[in-house]
Amino acid sequence: MTHKKQDYINTLREKIHYHNQRYYQQDEPEIPDAEYDRLFRELQALESEYPELLSDDSPTLRVGAAPLKAFEQVQHKIPMLSLANAFTEEDLYAFEKRIRDRLKEDKIIEYVAEPKLDGLAVSVIYEKGILTTAATRGDGQTGENITQNVRTISSLPLKLSGLFPDVLEIRGEVFMSTNGFNNMNAKAIKNDEKVFANPRNAAAGSLRQLDSSITAKRPLDIYCYSVGICEGYDLPLSHYETLMCLKKWGLPVCSEVKVVEQAKGCWDYYQYIGDKRNSLPYEIDGVVYKVNLLSDQERLGKVSRAP
């Protein structure tokens, strides 16, 4: 009896997982929302009837879990560092000169240019493809365990697709889109509830809820921007290709990420994003440049708390 139920529950989960991918990764839903809701509610009903058949990759974890008393601490195996700043075009050329001097090689240096999303840094660990732990950055060494909350972010898969590492830690930025923020505040005003000052505060407040069913109702989003731990998989040689791997596994990566060449390419990208800034669906507080070749990143090492 339970075997049959287990099979049925697995099929339902697979179906919901498939439709989540169609909706969030491919932007091509195949069934109406009402039909999706019906499948989801059926799974919820079965899981509450057979709690022993609950699992770590069930799509129902998206609606939140029992409230916590406090967040537990999580040690980051690889510290979560910070970034160095450049404020002028001269700073940018000086940055490239430092890189050139340290690499002692006369070649065209490729960078990956990315929007600097205005949200909160998180670390998310997948073991055997299943999202098992998520943590805040904290002081860079120790963060808070916010797994229940991060599981409610609809665009982040609870389960990776394809051939993935045994253990994968991604780092990314949790944020709230401008639209999501405005709608949420409009509702809050109507219901005489707390209004947030800006999307970043709203994202921070939502992510640090002890009751993840509240987080589940907030329009949070995430873009992944790097890899921490990776076991049982040979990652590509460049940062850009690594991001494309993340995409292939179903993880959301910002579509404005571009490969550029030399300081000039970085500057042009800065102008490009500046022109587009007001029409981007999220808030940014700058752009980030990363040396594309991982072997060069390795050789460059880190200065103080920034790579």
Q: Which residues form the catalytic set?
A: 116
Question: Residue 225, interface with ligand IVH (CB under 6 A)?
Answer: yes
Determine contact, residues 121/135, Cβ cutoff 8 Å.
no
Count of chain residues binding ligand IVH (CB under 6 A): 12
Per DSSP, the residues of 63-91 read G--SPPSSPPEEE-SS---------SHHH
Determine the length of the chain.
307
Region near ligand IVH per CB under 6 A, out of 49-57, 79-87, 192-200, 274-282 = 79-87
Binding piece for ligand IVH, criterion CB under 6 A, among 2-10, 78-86, 98-106, 268-276: 78-86
User: Any contact of residue 258 with ligand IVH (CB under 6 A)?
Assistant: no
Question: Judged by CB under 6 A, which of 39, 46, 81, 259 binds ligand IVH?
Answer: 81
For tokens 């040690």, the residue is 75
Residue 47 or 96: the one with the smaller Cβ distance to ligand IVH is 96
Taking the complex as a whole, how short is the minimal distance between the CB of residue 50 and ligand IVH, in angstroms?
40
Shortest approach of ligand IVH to residue 226 CB, angstroms?
Answer: 6
Residue 226 vs 242, nearer CB to ligand IVH:
226
Residues 38-67 that bind ligand IVH (CB under 6 A): none
Is 175 among the residues that bind ligand IVH (CB under 6 A)?
no
User: Cβ distance 194 to 162 under 8 Å?
Assistant: no
- DSSP code string of 152-170: T-TTS-SB--SS--SEEEE
Closer residue to ligand IVH in complex, CB, 47/110:
110
Residue type, 6: Q
Q: Contact region for ligand IVH (CB under 6 A) — 113-121, 190-198, 244-252, 260-268?
A: 113-121
Q: Which residues 114-153 are close enough to bind ligand IVH by CB under 6 A?
A: 114, 116-117, 121
Return the DSSP state at 247.
H
Nearer to ligand IVH, 109 or 257 (CB): 257
For the beta carbon of residue 203, count every other beta carbon within 10 angstroms: 29
Cβ atoms of residues 82 and 306 within 8 Å:
yes
Nearer to ligand IVH, 166 or 298 (CB): 298
Interaction of residue 226 with ligand IVH, rule CB under 6 A: yes
How is 6-62 classified by DSSP, letter by letter? Answer: HHHHHHHHHHHHHHHIIIIISS---S-HHHHHHHHHHHHHHHHH-GGG--TT-GGGG
Residue 307 binds ligand IVH (CB under 6 A): yes
- Where does residue 306 rank: exposed (0-12), middle (13-18), buried (19+ CB within 10 A)? exposed
Q: Which one, 19 or 239, has the nearer CB to ligand IVH?
A: 239
Residues 83, 189, 237, 244: which binds ligand IVH (CB under 6 A)? 83
Of residues 87, 69, 112, the one with CA closest to residue 237 = 112
For ligand IVH, the binding residues (CB under 6 A) are 81-83, 114, 116-117, 121, 173, 225-226, 288, 307
